[in-house]
Amino acid sequence: MIDSSEFRRVMGHFPTGVAVVTTRRHDGSPCGLTVNAFCSVSLTPPLVLVCVEHGADSHACIVDSGAFAVNVLEETHGETISRRFATWNLEDKFAGIAFRSEKTASPVLDAALAWIDCRVTETVRAGDHTIFLGEVLAAETLEGRPLVYYRGGYGRFTP
Ligand SMILES: Cc1cc2nc3c(=O)[nH]c(=O)nc-3n(C[C@H](O)[C@H](O)[C@H](O)COP(=O)(O)O)c2cc1C
């Protein structure tokens, strides 16, 4: 079997966008993490998936709330937001970040390049992660350019 650091290194050669997946805790406080394991799954019905590590704080939040929003990050503020939401045990990841709710209660970031608001339809245990399948209830795009993640570093997309 391939060693996990080698697996991570090889997978890093697949360039991705970066997103913050958000949801709410029981008390209504916002919760979220940085992900790049996100993709579209089905057009009819519209489904997406995100993969979240079992140990992540946000994992339990998504299980409990049954909803999540995917906030695609743009190049200007995206790296700072990505690093913030990838930090373990940070007191308030949302401090100073403007957000609102759309169809579900999940926070939609004002700084997102695109957002997709979902209700969880299925969860699949997959190794040390859970695949959350979400039915898309609302989505929107804004002007801007995407943040890109490649070989462990952040970059920009130039067409
Ligand atoms: C670019 C990037 C992509 C990431 N992608 C994922 C991912 O797809 N799934 C995941 O569970 N963690 C991913 N992480 C790690 C989480 O963001 C990190 O573990 C975070 O601290 C979890 O936060 P939480 O415990 O508050 O939920 C990624 C981190 C970075 C920097």
Does the pLDDT at position 77 exceed 90?
A: yes
Residues contacting ligand 1 via CB (< 6 Å): 18, 33-37, 51-53, 56-58, 82, 85-88, 149
Q: What is the dihedral of CA 99, 103, 72, 4, to 10 degrees?
A: 110
| pLDDT tens column, 124-151 | 999 999 999 999 999 999 999 999 999 9
| pLDDT tens column, 55-75 | 999 999 999 999 999 999 999
**Ligand 1 atom closest to 90 (CA):** 26
Does the pLDDT at position 158 exceed 90?
A: no
Cα 37 to averaged position of ligand 1 atoms, centre (Å): 9
* Mutation choice for ligand 1 from 53, 92, 128, 130, CB with most ligand atoms inside 8 A: 53
Q: How confident is the model at residue 18 (pLDDT cuts 50, 70, 90)?
A: very high
> Do 47 and 41 contact (CB within 8 A), yes or no?
yes
- Say how many residues make up the chain: 159
- For the chain, what percent of residues have pLDDT higher than 70? 100
> Do 126 and 51 contact (CB within 8 A), yes or no?
yes
* pTM, full prediction: 0.98
